[in-house]
Structure 1
Amino acid sequence: MKFNFSKAAIAATLLMSFAGANAMAQVADPFGTPANSAMPEREIAMSNSTKYVNVAQGEVVKFVSHGKSFTWKFDTFGMQPFSFSKIAPQGFDGANATVYLGTNPLYRGH
């Protein structure tokens, strides 16, 4: 009986670890996700001379350039700066810009 209980405990532990890994896989993309263009909190004009953009975690931003646009939700837990080219459509101005993420007071839990 003891041997079977050990197997059951190991199986339960493995099952829970897989469930946790699956839940983490469904958490936000490292850079955020595309968003509905009708819901941006603000709009940022981009050009090839744009060096950086500052956004907050959870913020929805519409990026515009030469009549083109896309909207992005920065629903990420990460705080590391990254290249704008990671989220921008190919050929969109500002590809060399760096995105800096600021903390959102709602994410702090205070």
Structure 2
Amino acid sequence: MKTNFSKLALIAAIGLAAAGTSYAHEDYSEARIDHWLRHVSESQSAPTANQLAPFGYAATKNADREVSLPSGGKYLNVTRLETLKLNVDGKSVVWTFDTLGTAAFPLSTIVPGADGITVYVRENPAYQGG
């Protein structure tokens, strides 16, 4: 008798759990990306300044490496999401290159006076599919 009651209770619990999750979303006709975009657009929180920065942001953590660029330098190769301590003409900045979709840009956009130096950003291998 106890085993029958236990089985019935287990079946009822599973049934209630399945029924509860079926009401979690009312409209299944929308495409997946449309669903995600709708929820993101309805989000109450605004993106942070770091999320909106197209070339990355000044970092508060330790640098992964330190780079000193000589005067007359022409380029700097970085990996997306890499944090560098940059030394250019006596100026120093610690910068995280959070630059999704940005392939190259002038270093002078983040370090004033670093004219003529182009930053080339390659994708971080840890985030590449494959």
- TM-score (ref. length: structure 2): 0.59
1:101 aligns with 2:121: yes
Match of 2:43, SS state, is helix
Gaps in structure 2 of 5+ consecutive residues: 1-36
From 94, 101, 122, the equivalent of 1:71 is 94
Alpha-carbon distance in 1 for matches of 2:96, 2:50: 15
Partner of 1:6: none
After superposition, the C-alpha distances for 1:28-64 in whole angstroms (9 at most, x for unaligned) are: 511000012x600111112331100000000000011
1:57 correspondence with 2:80: yes
Q: Retained in 2: the 8 A contact 1:57–1:76?
A: yes
- 1:29-48 matches, within 5 Å, as 29-36=53-60, 39-48=62-71
Structure 1: gaps spanning 5 or more residues: 1-12
Classify 1:25/1:84 alpha carbon distance in 2 versus 1 (closer, same or farther; 3 Å): closer
Percent identity (aligned): 35
Q: CA deviation at 1:22?
A: 3.9
Kindly tell me: are residues 86 and 67 of structure 1, through their superposed partners in 2, closer, same or farther at Cα, counting changes over 3 Å? closer
Q: Residue deviations 1:44-96, cap 9 Å, x none?
A: 112331100000000000011354311100112123200000111x33xx321
Partners of 2:65 and 2:93 lie apart in 1 by: 12
Q: Matched residue pairs, number?
A: 94
2:80 touches 2:97 (CA, 8 Å); kept in 1?
Answer: yes
By relative contact order (CA 8 Å, sep 6+), the higher-ranking structure is 1
Partner Cα separation in structure 1 for residue 59 and residue 49 of structure 2: 19
Deviation at 1:105, TM superposition (A): 1.4
What TM-score comes out, normalization by structure 1 length? 0.68
